[in-house]
């Protein structure tokens, strides 16, 4: 059974259109409170820097308080910080107001349970079952109350810093930090500087409308130019809500999530601390799979979405997983995807080995890969189209054993992602464009 409102990462959409309205947010809070927060329970609410965050924060606060829950307002803070503080404050529920890597005119609402984990599909369906009813308001004596927590950023910053190996700091590292004008714009530079690094911040001046705009992990071009220009050792880029990270090496080359997985996994293996398989997704580069196999490290693919990577890690006993986009999970350090903590783990490996980031990433070849997004008027399942299935079969025949084809509907946007991967770059591009044209025709 599919959800009506919840996608792969909470509820998301364009502000002012259903479901991203103040009325819906209040009803969502009321529905979630009835399922997850007993009377007298506590809810944490954090957000990124979008202008609409103020509106949704107020609507959620009203819905939870009216349903009898106490609310702690944390202000702008990375999504993984909310997961951590939900446990730190022994809260019953953590709520994040963010549309992650999307533009400012979108927003979203996602939840963490009391263990700092994302909700299961069954819990999300239970919440949706209550959304058809108006928001409840208890009698005055049963209402909750709300207050702001000013220490949230410092507590999360200290938690991140504590994941560095004992006795290790970042002295003599020059780091360009790109906060995507988002939730990590304060905590990232301050934490790195406190650890001894020389920090050059970019994308750390949010105005409510510039989140992910020409900056951050989805648009790292400015970071790639800046790192070699200022002769920095490395660049770090978060996305708008701080749960994704990509790095840039000293030469200005992008180091994506697949390469970060390789660096983390091989380092843990050298230390004798790697457990279980490394988990990527169906979109992970074939070069990662081959590089890990060459190091006798098992690799498995989950569905796209960090929640599914996390599920497979838990099922298999693994500790390292992530997506090409930089949604990284390091379970021996935290419970969910965390861009800052992942970055710190890689920076620590650089300090311990004395190697540059380019040297650490060199062991993983990247196969040419083309991914095209085909926008649709509504969500559709490409597997149900005979024309698309036939086109995929023909492309796979041309690739033979030297590549892969992946088609999937995005869980956060009305697009079909068409990915073709193989040894021949030009052939990969040609086949991807041919397949995307078929998908576009089928989607109209």
Catalytic residue IDs: 100
Closest of 149, 147, 153 to residue 70, by C-alpha: 147
Q: Specify whether the CB–CB gap between 235 and 178 falls below 8 A.
A: yes
Measured CA to CA, the distance from residue 264 to residue 99 in angstroms comes to 27
Q: Name the burial class of residue 130, with classes exposed (0-12), middle (13-18) and buried (19+) by CB atoms within 10 angstroms of its CB.
A: middle
Measured CA to CA, the distance from residue 372 to residue 128 in angstroms comes to 32
Label the pairing between strands 403-409 and 415-422.
antiparallel
Q: Specify whether the CB–CB gap between 183 and 78 falls below 8 A.
A: yes
Measured CA to CA, the distance from residue 366 to residue 369 in angstroms comes to 8
Distances (CA, A) of 250 to 229, 230, 344, 392, 424: 10, 10, 17, 39, 28
Residues contacting 129, CB < 8 A, separation 6+ = 31
The DSSP-derived string for 68-85 is T-EEEEEEE--HHHHHHH
Measured CA to CA, the distance from residue 435 to residue 395 in angstroms comes to 8
Closest of 114, 84, 95, 103 to residue 44, by C-alpha: 95
């Amino acid at each position: 059974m599919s959800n009506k409102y919840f996608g792969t990462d909470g509820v998301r959409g364009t502000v002012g259109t259903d479901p991203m309205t103040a009325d819906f947010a209040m009803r969502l809070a009321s529905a979630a409170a009835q399922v997850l927060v007993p009377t007298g329970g506590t809810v944490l609410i954090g957000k990124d820097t979008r202008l609409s965050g103020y509106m949704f924060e107020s609507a959620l606060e009203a819905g939870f308080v009216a349903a009898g829950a106490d609310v702690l307002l944390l202000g702008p803070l990375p999504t993984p910080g909310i997961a951590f503080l939900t446990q730190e404050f022994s809260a019953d529920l953590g709520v994040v107001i963010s549309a992650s890597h999307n533009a400012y005119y979108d927003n979203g609402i996602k939840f963490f349970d009391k263990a700092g984990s994302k909700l299961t599909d069954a819990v999300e369906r239970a919440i949706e079952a209550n959304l058809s009813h108006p928001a409840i308001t208890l009698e005055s004596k049963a209402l909750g109350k709300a207050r702001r927590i000013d220490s949230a950023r410092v507590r999360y910053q200290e938690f991140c810093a504590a994941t560095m190996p004992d006795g290790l700091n970042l002295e003599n590292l020059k780091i360009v930090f790109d906060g995507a004008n988002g939730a990590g714009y304060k905590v990232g530079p301050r934490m790195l500087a406190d650890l001894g690094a020389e920090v050059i911040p970019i994308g750390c001046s949010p105005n409510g409308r510039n989140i992910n705009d020409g900056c951050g992990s989805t648009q790292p071009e400015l970071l790639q130019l800046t790192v070699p220009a200022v002769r920095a050792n490395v660049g770090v880029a978060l996305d708008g809500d701080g749960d994704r990270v990509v790095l840039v090496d000293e030469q200005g080359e992008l180091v994506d999530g697949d390469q970060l997985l390789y660096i983390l996994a091989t380092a843990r293996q050298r230390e004798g601390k790697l457990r279980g398989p490394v988990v990527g997704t169906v979109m992970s580069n074939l070069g990662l799979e081959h590089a890990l196999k060459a190091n006798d490290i098992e690799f498995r693919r989950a569905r796209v979405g960090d929640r599914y990577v996390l599920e497979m890690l838990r099922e298999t006993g693994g500790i390292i997983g992530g997506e090409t986009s930089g949604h990284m999970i390091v379970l021996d350090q935290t419970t969910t995807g965390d861009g800052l903590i992942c970055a710190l783990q890689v920076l620590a490996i650089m300090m311990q080995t004395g190697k540059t980031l380019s040297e650490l990433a060199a062991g993983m070849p990247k196969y040419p890969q083309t991914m095209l997004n085909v926008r649709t008027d509504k969500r559709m399942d490409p597997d149900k189209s005979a024309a698309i299935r036939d086109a995929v079969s023909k492309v796979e025949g041309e690739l033979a054993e030297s590549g892969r084809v992946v088609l999937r509907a995005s869980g956060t946007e009305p697009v079909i992602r068409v990915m073709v991967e193989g040894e021949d770059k030009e052939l990969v591009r040609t086949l991807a464009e041919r397949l995307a044209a078929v998908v576009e025709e089928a989607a109209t």
